[in-house]
Amino acid sequence: MINEGQQAPDFTANDQDGNKISLSQFAGKKVVLYFYPKDSTPGCTTEACDFRDNYQGLIAQGIVVLGVSTDSEASHQKFIAKYNLPFPLIADTDRKIVESYGVWVEKNMYGKKYMGIARKTFLINEEGIVTHIIDKVDTKNATAQVLALLK
């Protein structure tokens, strides 16, 4: 489990295009690392589109946005193309990132228990320290939640 004030675990994984992305390559920048359950589902789409709609403002403040789910590169490509998402989505198909951030959890839907991703956002500063963790993500206002914490 990761706590505020701790070093964010570094990772290297493929984005939607098969490019290797490491958290460490964004040293010197603020990073919004958001974990979401599944491409093209209603809540995940709402959250991604909120980041998309506010992306230029985030970039203007030197903030990098990275989305992570356990979906494949091909799934991410379709999600990005369908909703015109301007930021990378990381394909954590081996679950190493979600497990290192403690977001691979037991979930319960309609009485059925299963393992899945807890929707959570980590704000990481220029030195790679987790400054804030958003446990209760408001998918319609994800960017506003981030910006309120960064003020």
- Report the C-alpha gap between 30 and 128 in whole angstroms: 8
Are 1 and 102 spatial neighbours (Cβ–Cβ below 8 Å)?
Answer: yes
- Please confirm, yes or no, whether 49 is among the known catalytic residues: no
Q: What is the spatial distance between Cα 60 and Cα 137, in angstroms, rounded to a whole number? A: 23
- Residue 67 pairs in a beta bridge with 34, 89
Pair 101, 124: CB distance under 8 Å: no
**Cβ(2)–Cβ(102) under 8 Å?**
yes
Question: Of the listed 44, 65, 97, 142, which one is catalytic?
Answer: 44
Cite the active site residues.
44
